[in-house]
């Protein structure tokens, strides 16, 4: 299994890149445009800024009662406007992006509106209102940020608007390029990490040559006590299973076993034990030994077929979910071959099973 997943890397990079691009271009670009435009307004002189606000409010039905007289009263004076014959007060506050209009300043304008009997009041700032300004506004119209830019943008010269839009687009494109670089880096990281979660363990070294060998599936599986040597014989040569002897018939066998010489008894015990392939099976020929292993494992209960997907990876297709005793039988076969006992074993669950693919090694290197 590869240690790097190109599909995972591409999926993560494209997802992050496209989502970032959509966010930065459709939403953040407008935010950048507003911030750039407000920053330009903050560089104006107070009289120029106040004239721009008054001209912008004309589109909303306001008329200056006497612009020159109002401006002559000072840079922080309230401007007097008329709307539908009723007086309104306008206060303009200039400052940079860090400038905050306090709630006390807003409350002063609200008091001035009540004291002069005005129908309402408006406060405009290139900075921001603090969190308590809305609470003390008492019906005042507060303009900053988006609302301020929406008010004054139609009154700006076309060349000024184009400069603001171009500057915002340039900043947005730079941010999008940075987002794609970050997306590619995260995609590369995901390409290396995802295969580790899928396989569950580090991958085996890549083989120099792949020579898969597949064994013929036997027609019937032997019992758990079958030895690899007996498993390699033809299924037709195996004797049919005989019923267990009755207690009466088994009694002579017990008596005969008691009279059996020790050497004979040891041999009989060894033949009845689910032994692994004899030591003579180690021939020094890796290809021949791999063929012996897959033939022996293919005869185990619950095994559909076995093959070497690589010289160091044994792939076993199961008919049933593997238990610990099944793993022990597989390891008992591999232990007879010193060159193969450290191979990685991959147990493929049967179709429809909810079990995951399992990897293990009988012996460490």
More confident residue, 257 or 49: 49
* Calpha distance 38→151 (Å, rounded): 11
The separation between CA 212 and the C-alpha centre of its own chain, rounded to angstroms, equals 35
Residue 345 confidence (pLDDT): 93
For the chain, what is the mean pLDDT? 75
Report the b/e string of 293-322 with b at 16+ CB within 10 A. Answer: bbbbbbbbeebebbbbebbebbbbbbeeeb
Output the CA–CA distances (angstroms, integers) from residue 80 to 69, 107, 155, in the order listed.
10, 18, 20
Q: Which two tokens stand for residue 29?
A: 């670009």
Output the CA–CA distances (angstroms, integers) from residue 130 to 102, 134, 137, 221, in the order listed.
6, 8, 11, 81
Mean pLDDT is lowest, of 112-116, 162-166, 334-338, for 162-166
More confident residue, 179 or 273: 179
Other beta carbons within 10 Å of 115? 9
H/E segment holding residue 114: helix 103-116
Residue 265 confidence (pLDDT): 39
Residue 300 confidence (pLDDT): 92
* Calpha distance 221→217 (Å, rounded): 9
pLDDT single digits (tens) 311-357:
889 999 998 988 899 899 999 998 888 888 889 999 989 988 888 89
Residue 306 confidence (pLDDT): 92
CB within 8 A of 60, min separation 6: which ones?
none
More confident residue, 210 or 5: 5
Residue 247 confidence (pLDDT): 40
Q: Give which of 5, 14, 6, 31 is closest to 179, Cα–Cα.
A: 14
Residue 73 confidence (pLDDT): 54
The separation between CA 19 and the C-alpha centre of its own chain, rounded to angstroms, equals 14
Residue 318 confidence (pLDDT): 92
* Calpha distance 130→209 (Å, rounded): 71
* Calpha distance 344→338 (Å, rounded): 14
Portion of the chain with pLDDT greater than 70, in percent:
72
Other beta carbons within 10 Å of 24? 20
The pLDDT-based confidence of 84 (bands split at 50, 70, 90) is: confident
The pLDDT-based confidence of 22 (bands split at 50, 70, 90) is: confident
- Mean predicted confidence (pLDDT) in 239-267: 41
Portion of the chain with pLDDT greater than 90, in percent:
17
The pLDDT-based confidence of 138 (bands split at 50, 70, 90) is: confident
- Mean predicted confidence (pLDDT) in 70-85: 70
Instruction: State the sign of the Cα–Cα–Cα–Cα dihedral 266, 267, 270, 275.
Output: positive
Q: Is the CB of residue 124 less than 8 Å from the CB of residue 91?
A: yes
Our CA angle for 9, 358, 313, nearest 5°, is 80
Q: Which two tokens stand for residue 37?
A: 């435009």
* Calpha distance 291→117 (Å, rounded): 103
Q: Is the CB of residue 212 less than 8 Å from the CB of residue 307?
A: yes
pLDDT single digits (tens) 205-228:
544 454 454 444 444 444 443 333
Length of the chain: 365
Residues paired with 315 in a beta bridge: 307, 346
């Amino acid at each position: 299994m590869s240690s790097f997943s190109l599909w995972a890397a591409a999926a993560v990079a494209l997802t992050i890149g496209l989502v970032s691009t959509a966010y930065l271009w459709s939403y953040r670009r407008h935010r950048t445009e507003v911030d750039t435009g407000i920053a330009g307004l903050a560089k104006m002189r107070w009289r120029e800024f106040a004239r721009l606000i008054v001209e912008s409010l004309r589109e909303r039905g306001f008329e200056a009662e006497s612009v020159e007289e109002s401006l002559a009263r000072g840079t922080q004076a309230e401007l007097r406007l008329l709307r539908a014959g009723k007086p309104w007060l306008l206060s303009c506050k200039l400052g940079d992006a860090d400038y905050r209009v306090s709630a006390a300043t807003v409350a002063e304008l609200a008091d001035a509106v009540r004291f002069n009997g005005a129908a309402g009041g408006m406060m405009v700032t290139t900075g921001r209102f603090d969190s308590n300004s809305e609470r003390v506004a008492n019906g005042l119209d507060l303009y900053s940020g988006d609302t301020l830019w929406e008010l004054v943008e139609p009154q700006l010269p076309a060349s000024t608007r184009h400069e603001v839009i171009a500057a915002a687009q340039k900043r947005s494109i730079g941010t999008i390029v940075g987002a794609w670089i970050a997306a590619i880096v995260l995609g590369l990281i995901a390409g290396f990490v995802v295969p580790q979660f899928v396989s569950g363990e580090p991958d085996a070294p890549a083989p120099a040559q792949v020579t898969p060998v597949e064994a013929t599936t036997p027609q019937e599986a032997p019992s758990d006590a079958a030895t690899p040597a007996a498993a390699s014989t033809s299924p037709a040569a195996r004797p049919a299973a005989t019923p267990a002897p009755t207690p009466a018939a088994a009694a002579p066998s017990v008596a005969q076993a008691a009279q059996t010489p020790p050497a004979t008894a040891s041999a009989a015990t060894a033949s009845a034990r689910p032994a692994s392939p004899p030591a003579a099976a180690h021939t020094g020929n890796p290809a021949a030994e791999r063929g012996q292993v897959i033939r022996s494992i293919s005869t185990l209960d619950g095994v559909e077929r076995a093959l070497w997907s690589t010289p160091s990876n044994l792939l076993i297709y199961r008919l049933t979910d593997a238990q610990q005793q099944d793993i022990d039988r597989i390891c008992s076969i591999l232990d007879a071959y010193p060159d193969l006992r450290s191979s990685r074993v991959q147990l493929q669950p049967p179709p429809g099973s909810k079990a995951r693919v399992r990897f293990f090694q009988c012996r460490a290197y």
